[in-house]
Chain A
Amino acid sequence: AQRVTQPEKLLSVFKGAPVELKCNYSYSGSPELFWYVQYSRQRLQLLLRHISRESIKGFTADLNKGETSFHLKKPFAQVEDSAMYYCALNNNAGNMLTFGGGTRLMVKP
């Protein structure tokens, strides 16, 4: 069975500090992983996917198959990064995503 775990429900940092939102997964096949973000009063939307290996809004995430992790990182957090972040796994059966429990990031000025 596939599972996505985000161990932190809340992460609070000051502006300019580095931030790392943890995500671990369990899946027997070759996973495709994503980070989705929900800003206040906005819809949940895709932030980035591991296949594209790109940086979005300064965020990056590297898939580590050895550690089964897909942590989301940003070297200098901004206040506008405050949001709910969900890690998600696609088991390649259509577009069915399994989401983690979510981490609320609060960036204080």
Chain B
Amino acid sequence: DAGVIQSPRHEVTEMGQEVTLRCKPISGHNSLFWYRQTMMRGLELLIYFNNNVPIDDSGMPEDRFSAKMPNASFSTLKIQPSEPRDSAVYFCASTPSGQGFSPLHFGNGTRLTVT
């Protein structure tokens, strides 16, 4: 099991460009989370999907951020246009739901730098 797979590992882009981060959850996990990690704020939940449906997107900073989960094995987080303050590590995590407790399984993260 390769675990949660995120791509790319690193992304450097210029302000104003569109950025797309990708996540493949663990097979069989039906809950998927996007988190953002910064020095100042730690880990912030951006959005949470259950069975491909967005359940809570109250953490999405603003309209420049959008996330989709077109099927059970793929999700994207898009930032358009990107700004320097979006620079952070973005984590995707998945877990099975409805089966009692299961810890979150995190990907390796995507380190985004917006210049």
- Asked whether A97 and B31 contact (CB < 8 A) given A44-B91, A45-B103, A49-B101, the answer is no
Q: Which residues of A contact B35 (CB under 8 A)?
A: 99
Q: Is the interface of B mostly helix, strand, loop or mixed?
A: strand
Q: Which residue of B lies closest to A87 (CB)?
A: B42
Query: What interface size band does chain A fall in?
Result: 10 to 19
Contact of B41 with A by CB under 8 A: yes
Supposing A86-B42, A86-B43 touch, asked if A95 and B3 sit within 8 A by C-beta, the answer is no
Tell me if A46 and B104 are in contact (CB < 8 A): yes
- Are A46 and B103 interface neighbours, CB within 8 A? yes
Taking a contact as CB atoms under 8 Å apart, the answer to whether B50 and A43 are in contact is no
Determine whether the beta carbon of A97 is less than 8 Å from that of B108. Answer: no
Chain A hits for B71, CB < 8 A? none
Is the beta-carbon distance between A96 and B56 smaller than 8 angstroms?
yes
Per-residue contact bits, chain B 24-37, to A (CB 8 Å; 1 contact, 0 not): 00000001010100
Select from chain A the residue with minimum beta-carbon distance to B44. A99
8 Å CB interface, B66-115 against A = 91, 93, 95, 97, 101-108
Task: Give Cα A97 to B102, complex, Å.
Answer: 12
Chain B interface residues (CB < 8 Å from chain A): 3-4, 31, 33, 35, 41-45, 48, 50, 55-56, 91, 93, 95, 97, 101-108
| Interface of A toward B, CB cutoff 8 Å | 6, 34, 36, 43-46, 49, 51, 86, 94-102
A-B pairs with beta carbons under 8 Å apart, 22 shown: A6-B42, A34-B103, A43-B3, A43-B4, A43-B108, A44-B43, A44-B91, A44-B106, A45-B103, A51-B101, A86-B43, A94-B31, A94-B97, A95-B97, A96-B33, A96-B48, A97-B33, A99-B42, A99-B44, A99-B45, A101-B43, A102-B43
